[in-house]
Structure 1
């Protein structure tokens, strides 16, 4: 049996994590009866460890948070800024298989605006860890509200979940849609403008 006690992850270096994941993934493959001397498989534990730590779960380490550029709202722009069709890949925390799709983010600026590509980077960073889509949606909205110093934020995510498409019910066509609204976007008029702008 495994223990649910949380490890002191803050004490682990990236190298510690790589070695631990590599060892434990080796044991998983061994338990499955795979030939770990096979040329195609023998480096798989190492490859998986590097993928987890350096790529798909890099969002677990706040040191990897992207550098953000802000600009004074010198034009005094007060209307909605919408960034649509942001590519998102994440992992379901229930089965550790991917879910992926598109994210749309909108906000009403106050004293400052953010570099547009930085919104994509923030979404991709937050997505890079095991989680459920609902949590991802809320975290993106809350982080942007915090960074932009505005309550007026909206987030929409439409995603395909491989835990649904590749196992269990095996429905490859279903998608899951989630929303986050705060500030002015809680009002029907602004929420409708946001949804209409997405063509949903």
Structure 2
């Protein structure tokens, strides 16, 4: 089982990447292979609707990895009440072909105490529009700049468990429903 994680942050000290690592590690413990598509290492140009063959290789690589994945972890910091520009831009390159009938774990981080509710709602809408199946649990890490210990785990043990459960539940859901959802989506 292949899971592709896409953290929507370019920050060197990204708490979004730290949160994704927790979810990814939990999914790997359940037997999945998780690859993180790091947009810092594979920058994508601004999506402008041109003929696909004119985009650089990083775009084709991203689209291929999205197509091959059985499920996804999509995560974003909350910027101005929504998802990051870099994640929105990446998602603009894909369509239902890559996401249809696939399960998605959504995760948000935020600097504020209220968390990333708007970000998660936006990601949920995008996924549903592309015929994907977002998991119902969508954890958010509030005040993420001070939420992590030096070892990369969360100070809040309950929140740590929620992120671990998200990774485990993604793998369980793909095992239970993944094939059936993709087949039914193509009918």
Tell me which structure has the larger Cα radius of gyration: 1
Q: TM tier, shorter chain? A: under 0.3
Higher strand share: 1
Higher RCO, Cα 8 Å, sep 6+: 2
Q: TM-score, normalised by structure 1?
A: 0.25
